[in-house]
Structure 1
Amino acid sequence: MSKFRTTELSDAQFESNNLRYITVKSNNLKGRGDLSVFVPSDKEYSDLPIVVLLHGVYGSHWIWSQKTGIHLKMKSWIEAREIEPMIVVMPSDGLWGDGSGYVPHYTGVNFEKWIVEDVINAVVELIPQASEKSKLFISGLSMGGFGALRIGLKHHDKFTGVSGLSSITVLEEMKLFVEEDLEAYQQSISENISVLKTALKHKDNLPPFRFDCGVDDELIEGNRTLHQELKKEGIPHIYKENPGKHEWIYWETHIKETILFFNNLL
């Protein structure tokens, strides 16, 4: 029995480059949500790992594929046997304002549960190569890095590995990018406003995680602070700085480090 009132899956005869498209009606969104899904070619695959890849502000489900060609890269890396076959699911964030922050909102729309529950359930239900046995990973850029790090560490029972690129590290940094009032993002649970607070609350159960940032990125100081505070607390993690700014060429270049990190955890 479906976990959704309605689902739509693209027709294979019209798909290309291993991309499939899903729309489901989500109780958490109080409406419909969209997913782009990279699925490795071999139909005999089963129980494939699932990488949830979150976008940043202004974007949607299509942006990772159409700005970085991640689906083409995954196909190439799999064919070259650099990585094991994996599914990559790229959901919209819920399309609230300039960006939902992937957090619950006071209106009752829960953008966190959309990712943790609905996105994964949709892939397991509609993509034959996935199953409830599939290992789960989560990553994202900027706002999506905040979502990935916070959600991945909080829901450590679900995720085998977590990674963030050029991540917002505290919810207040959303003001650098969005026109919506920060009051709309206010949280009653302190761990929802800070990656560090999430890590501290769950420090005894954290999955392996990493994050990186460009040295000329406006979010670099937040990433450095997070790294130093995690070190101070003795929380294992990987942190790396690279040349680059808050821009697509950085994410296109460095997403491979994240995928290799996940591959090494399989």
Structure 2
Amino acid sequence: MSKFRTVEISNPAFEQQHLRFLTVKTASLKGRGDICIFVPPGITDLSDLPVCILLHGVYGSAWSWAFCAGIHLRAKEMMERKEIKPMLIAMPSDGLWGDGSAYLPHHQLDFEKWIATDVPEVLIESFPQVSEKSPFFIAGLSMGGFGALRIGAKYNERFKAMAGHSSITMLEQMKLFVEEDLQGYTQNDPTSENVLDTMLKYKDRLPPFRFDCGNTDLLIADNRLLHQQLQENNIPHLYEEFEGGHEWPYWEKHVIRTLQFFDAQMV
């Protein structure tokens, strides 16, 4: 029996480029949430299929990673060349609150639970190749990087590894992007407003993680500071910098490193 009142999934007969769309009604959102899913060819007989959850940034939605970065095309090429193992790539919306939900609970809606619990559960229900034994990974860009690093750290029993690109590292940085009053995002537990504080809270249980940032990105100083603070607190991680700014060409290029990183965790 489904944990959700309704789940609508697109007909594979009409799919383009192996992208499937799923809409699920969830109590976390008090409404419906969308997920765009890359379903690689040739997985029919597979079991315990790995799942990579990719979170978008402000202003975007479930379509962003596929139609701004072509992640499904790059992933398919990598799988065909056997550079990475087959994996489902699930790209959920953030809940579509304001300019961005920050993947936090607020305004009587739980955007964190939507990602950490509902998305994995509906994928397990909807795809026979995905199970509770499937390794789940989580990554994101900008606001999605904030969500991925924080949620991955907090729900470490669910996620095998995590990653962020050009990540917001503290909630206060959301004011660079959104028009909504940041007081509306305030958490009962201030730890949830800061990636470092969240990682310190779960320091002994953190999954492997990487993050990167462009050297002309408006968040570069914040990412460098997080890297320094993680080093000072002896938290193992991989941090890299590359040419580029807060832009899709950067994320399109470097998300490949995250897929490779996740694949390496399955050895």
For normalisation by structure 2, the TM-score amounts to 0.98
Q: 1:204 aligns to what SS in structure 2?
A: helix
* CA deviation after TM superposition for structure 1 residue 262, in Å: 0.2
- Residues 181-240 of structure 1, C-alpha deviation per residue, up to 9 Å, x if partnerless? 001111111221000000110111111011000010000011001000000001100100
Q: 2:58 aligns to what SS in structure 1?
A: coil
Hey, what's the Cα distance between the residues in 1 that align with 2:89 and 2:161? 14
Q: Hey, what does 2:75 align to over in structure 1?
A: 74
Hey, what's the Cα distance between the residues in 2 that align with 1:136 and 1:75? 18
- The residue type equivalent to 2:67 in the other structure is Q
Residues 16-35 of structure 1: pairs in structure 2 closer than 5 A: 16-35=16-35
Aligned length: 265
Hey, what's the Cα distance between the residues in 1 that align with 2:58 and 2:161? 23
Q: Hey, what does 2:127 align to over in structure 1?
A: 127
Hey, what's the Cα distance between the residues in 2 that align with 1:19 and 1:121? 19
Structure 2, unpaired ranges of 5+: none
Hey, what's the Cα distance between the residues in 1 that align with 2:158 and 2:6? 25
Q: Hey, what does 1:154 align to over in structure 2?
A: 154
Q: 2:105 aligns to what SS in structure 1?
A: coil
Q: 1:240 aligns to what SS in structure 2?
A: strand
Q: Hey, what does 1:193 align to over in structure 2?
A: 193
- Residues 96-134 of structure 1, C-alpha deviation per residue, up to 9 Å, x if partnerless? 0000000010x2100000001111111111122211111
Q: 2:168 aligns to what SS in structure 1?
A: coil
Hey, what's the Cα distance between the residues in 2 that align with 1:109 and 1:6? 18
Moved over 6 A (4+): none
Hey, what's the Cα distance between the residues in 2 that align with 1:72 and 1:138? 19
Q: Hey, what does 1:145 align to over in structure 2?
A: 145
Hey, what's the Cα distance between the residues in 2 that align with 1:94 and 1:187? 17
* CA deviation after TM superposition for structure 1 residue 47, in Å: 1.2
Hey, what's the Cα distance between the residues in 2 that align with 1:131 and 1:17? 24
Q: Equivalent pairs: percent with the same residue?
A: 57
Q: 2:36 aligns to what SS in structure 1?
A: strand
Q: Hey, what does 1:98 align to over in structure 2?
A: 99
Hey, what's the Cα distance between the residues in 2 that align with 1:128 and 1:78? 20
Give me the CA root mean square deviation: 0.6
Q: Hey, what does 1:220 align to over in structure 2?
A: 220
Residues 204-219 of structure 1: pairs in structure 2 closer than 5 A: 204-219=204-219
- The residue type equivalent to 2:179 in the other structure is E
Structure 1, unpaired ranges of 5+: none
Q: 1:160 aligns to what SS in structure 2?
A: strand
Hey, what's the Cα distance between the residues in 2 that align with 1:61 and 1:127? 18
Hey, what's the Cα distance between the residues in 2 that align with 1:129 and 1:55? 25
- Residues 26-53 of structure 1, C-alpha deviation per residue, up to 9 Å, x if partnerless? 1000000000011111111221100000
Q: Hey, what does 2:41 align to over in structure 1?
A: 41
Hey, what's the Cα distance between the residues in 1 that align with 2:223 and 2:75? 27
- The residue type equivalent to 1:150 in the other structure is R
For normalisation by structure 1, the TM-score amounts to 0.99
Q: Hey, what does 2:114 align to over in structure 1?
A: 114
Residue 61 in structure 1 maps to residue 62 in structure 2: yes
Hey, what's the Cα distance between the residues in 2 that align with 1:29 and 1:103? 11
- The residue type equivalent to 2:34 in the other structure is D
Q: Hey, what does 2:51 align to over in structure 1?
A: 50
